[in-house]
Amino acid sequence: MTARHEEIADELRRAIDREEYTVGSRLPSEAELAAHYGVSRGTVRQAVAALTAEGLIGSRQGARRVVLASRRSQSFAELRSFAQWARAMGREATGSVVAQGYQPARAEDAVRLHLPEGTPVLHVLRVRGLDGEPVLLERTVYADWISPAVEAIEPDCASVTQRLYDETGLVFAYGEHVIDAVAAGAQDAELLDIRRTSPLLRVRRVTTTREGRPVEWSDDRYRSDAVSFSVHNSIDNNALARKTAE
Amino acid sequence: MTARHEEIADELRRAIDREEYTVGSRLPSEAELAAHYGVSRGTVRQAVAALTAEGLIGSRQGARRVVLASRRSQSFAELRSFAQWARAMGREATGSVVAQGYQPARAEDAVRLHLPEGTPVLHVLRVRGLDGEPVLLERTVYADWISPAVEAIEPDCASVTQRLYDETGLVFAYGEHVIDAVAAGAQDAELLDIRRTSPLLRVRRVTTTREGRPVEWSDDRYRSDAVSFSVHNSIDNNALARKTAE
DNA sequence: TGACGCAACTTGTTCATACAAGTTCTCCGC
DNA sequence: GCGGAGAACTTGTATGAACAAGTTGCGTCA
């Protein structure tokens, strides 16, 4: 039972995807869409606002909306879960824990997870692969209150996110990602089966629950020949920010 | 003459920034905010929707909104213009053209800029620095209709974006950014004053006008010890997407 | 004391209306 | 044919109302 405006947004997304509206062409006016779907203009506006935020269409006062891109971006579900992402692409995700153990939270951990310094937190080092080939090294720190559930998961579980949801009902709802590049160290090189000093795409992220409570933070290193990230944005909607090294 | 809902969004952003609302705390209800600012609930909703999209606050039906982060993300103006970004941080941007010239559009250029293959397009190689130190190498291709204006700009102009706006009224309104990591090549290393094979953060981007017309596309390589990117997102709002190498 | 259920609260959805502000196109006059 | 004025169209902003759906906390009952 999704909301009407989401149904309409989905229909428009699909129409753009199958090039019913081609890149560069104009969308029908709000009034036309409202009449077509039998809803008020406000509901149509909610639908097109979603597509605008995704960068699929552009909007200017007075002019009809323009289609900017046709490739639909992934759902957040696919972003937050390696396994779901792989499945959506028709590839098989693998994963295995290389090392795991409790350590008292350092200042860094305490800040990111909103915990008192010294709280025992679970560190996990995981290698993840697509169709058998390793592409990602995850160094993750879990908050104390979720650590027991994580510890109980078998080392080669393909989808930790899914498992945590099934076991505890935990949903990852918000994330902040900081992206830069690093050279592969000795451990990185060995586990990812690449040469030392190869460039890696590093994503440091913090994930939180719907209530805003931090669950985990992670240093993810991707083989740059296998994975990249993309961001759509606009003059009103800027999820991406550039930062200098501190 | 900004809209009321934007004023309110700004006030809330500032309040969060100066920790009047701390991370993890709850925002007043829509009804309270509406009464406080003397506007309708709809207007308040527009304001908080903006903050939600930025990832500053989290929202769940039935519960009060929660502050997720305090650091405000940059404006799109700062993202699209290296010089404006530098100025906002109190640093000085420099820039110099290393090479420049017309070449017939390759298939790649034609697709990204929506031009016929073979159209003469302007290629520019620029080094950009912060406080004198080189941090970014830009290899940009400009669409034919803007190339003359770009060509007329002096080689050491600090803000090309600003200059193009002043001269032609051109506004960069939408962008798509694809981010990965690459090893510095010989030319990269020399111009950025780093060793060969050092990891670089590569951003390939296409920028378009408000009408949705592509203006330029660029391969930007950042010194990874100097610059990183960050993305806020949420279960409803996912600007960031992970992609495999094709 | 602990568990349950309900009431109060809060955000989500939708509608209808009105006006402001920007764009586009037509048509008229030169 | 060209340029400009203006009408028609389109999106942006704002209000007010009503109901749906989810959360929280209080209070009661066992």
Domain spanning B76-223, CATH architecture: 3-Layer(aba) Sandwich (3.40)
Give the long-range contacts of residues B113-118, CB within 8 A, separation 24 or more.
B113/B141, B113/B143, B113/B206, B113/B214, B113/B216, B113/B217, B114/A23, B114/A24, B114/B143, B114/B213, B114/B214, B115/B143, B115/B144
pLDDT digits (tens, 9 = 90+) for A158-214: 888 888 888 888 888 888 889 999 999 999 999 999 999 999 999 999 998 888 888
The segment(s) of chain A belonging to CATH 3.40.1410.10 are: 76-223
The segment(s) of chain A belonging to CATH 1.10.10.10 are: 4-67
pLDDT at B13 over 60: yes
Q: What is the pLDDT along chain A (246 residues), one digit of tens a residue?
A: 588 999 999 999 999 988 899 888 889 999 999 999 999 999 999 999 989 888 888 898 988 998 887 766 566 767 778 888 888 888 899 999 999 999 999 999 998 888 888 899 999 999 999 988 999 999 999 999 899 889 989 998 888 888 888 888 888 888 888 999 999 999 999 999 999 999 999 999 999 888 888 899 999 999 999 989 888 777 777 777 777 765
Distance (Å) from the C-alpha of residue B122 to the closest C-alpha of chain A?
A: 23
CA proximity to A133, closest of A203, A191, A186: A191
Higher pLDDT, B78 or A41: A41
List chain B residues with CB under 8 Å of A85.
242
**What tokens appear for B76 in the block?**
């799109």
pLDDT at B101 over 80: yes
The answer to whether the Cβ–Cβ distance between A180 and B233 falls below 8 Å is no
Q: Closest-CA residue in chain A for B65?
A: A211
Least reliable range by pLDDT among A150-164, B96-110, B176-190: A150-164
The answer to whether the Cβ–Cβ distance between B235 and A210 falls below 8 Å is yes
The pLDDT, as a whole number, for residue B246 is 60
Distance (Å) from the C-alpha of residue B196 to the closest C-alpha of chain A?
A: 11
pLDDT at B39 over 80: yes
- The pLDDT mean for chain A works out to 88
Spell B28-57 as b/e; 16+ CB within 10 A means b: eebeebbeebebeeebbbbbbbbbbbbbbb
The pLDDT, as a whole number, for residue B123 is 96
> What letter would DSSP give residue B153?
S
CATH code matching the domain that covers A4-67, chosen among 1.10.340.30, 1.10.3720.10, 1.10.10.10, 2.40.240.10:
1.10.10.10
pLDDT mean over B51-55: 86
- The pLDDT mean for chain B works out to 88
CA proximity to A209, closest of B21, B24, B27: B24
The pLDDT, as a whole number, for residue A1 is 58
The answer to whether the Cβ–Cβ distance between B227 and A236 falls below 8 Å is no
The pLDDT, as a whole number, for residue B195 is 93
